[in-house]
């Protein structure tokens, strides 16, 4: 009788371990994504709830990079290639996308910051990259990103000589069906327009 209950305990323990491992494998991607957004790891910019309230006299150049996956027949580029901004200044930059197909297409943008170590100081208040974008066939749209560089960067010794940050986007065709029910571009216009 003792042997049977010991076997049950071993079986239940093994089943619990397997169930826990399966659960952790499903949670790994969202947990990694949350870790990257909080720490800026792998060039992931932070998402700010509000615009900056402090501005420094020191300036930094922000460069904009725009790419599209070959499977997405869109033209995508920034309105300006670079801008000099004061640290802590709220800016609003625009990117232009054009759907070269005759049918509606939904896309989504991935993004990162170079150099990666600066990502923890780059804050987006609003961005077209937060949602899926539906473009009608032949349509062109301006898509905004509102951002600031956190003044805390001035206290980081590793960032002392940093004078340029690149914000890079790549648009991919979305797995979402291309229908009118998809989300349309959002404005989120906070900050000084470039």
Asked whether the whole model's pTM tops 0.75, one would answer no
pLDDT, one tens digit per residue, over 85-115 is 999 999 999 999 999 999 999 999 999 899 9
Phi/psi at 53 (nearest 5 deg)?
A: -110, -5
Q: State percent of the chain over pLDDT 70.
A: 73
Q: With bands split at pLDDT 50, 70 and 90, how would you rate the model's confidence at 184?
A: very low
Beta pairing, strands 46-47 & 122-127:
parallel
- Mean local confidence (pLDDT), 142-167: 93
- Token pair recorded at residue 179: 């229908």
pLDDT(7) > 90: no
Task: Indicate the SS3 state at residue 36.
Answer: helix
pLDDT, one tens digit per residue, over 62-87 is 999 999 999 999 999 999 999 999 99
- Token pair recorded at residue 24: 């952790």
Of the two residues 14 and 47, the one the predictor is more confident about is 14
Q: With bands split at pLDDT 50, 70 and 90, how would you rate the model's confidence at 27?
A: low
State the sign of the Cα–Cα–Cα–Cα dihedral 10, 14, 16, 20: positive
Peptide bond into 98 cis (omega under 30): no
pLDDT of residue 142: 95
Residues 42/54, Cβ–Cβ less than 8 Å: no
Separation of alpha carbons 119 and 117, rounded Å: 6
Instruction: Report the Cα 114 to chain-centroid distance in Å.
Output: 13
Nearest CA to 148 out of 119, 170, 126, 124 is that of 124
State the sign of the Cα–Cα–Cα–Cα dihedral 106, 100, 67, 121: negative
pLDDT, one tens digit per residue, over 34-68 is 554 454 444 455 556 666 678 889 999 999 999 99
Indicate the average pLDDT of the chain.
81
- Mean local confidence (pLDDT), 16-44: 58
Contacts of 109 (CB under 8 A, 6+ apart): 128, 129, 133, 169, 170, 171, 172
Nearest CA to 85 out of 44, 118, 131, 49 is that of 118
């Amino acid at each position: 009788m003792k042997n049977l209950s010991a076997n049950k305990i071993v079986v239940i323990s093994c089943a619990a371990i397997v169930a826990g491992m399966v659960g952790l494998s499903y949670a790994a991607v969202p947990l990694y994504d949350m870790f990257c957004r909080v720490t800026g790891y792998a060039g992931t910019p932070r998402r700010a709830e509000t615009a900056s309230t402090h501005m420094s006299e020191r300036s930094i150049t922000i460069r904009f990079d725009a790419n599209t996956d070959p499977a997405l027949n869109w033209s995508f580029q920034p309105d300006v290639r670079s801008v000099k901004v004061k640290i802590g200044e709220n800016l609003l930059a625009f990117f232009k996308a054009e759907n070269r197909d005759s049918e509606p297409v939904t896309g989504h943008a991935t993004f990162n910051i170079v150099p990666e170590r600066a990502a923890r100081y780059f804050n987006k208040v609003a961005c077209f990259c937060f949602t899926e974008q539906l473009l009608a066939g032949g349509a062109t749209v301006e898509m905004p990103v509102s951002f600031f560089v956190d003044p805390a960067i001035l206290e980081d010794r590793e960032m002392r000589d940093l004078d340029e940050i690149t914000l890079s986007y790549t648009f991919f065709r979305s797995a979402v069906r291309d229908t009118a029910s998809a989300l349309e571009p959002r404005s989120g216009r906070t900050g000084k327009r470039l």
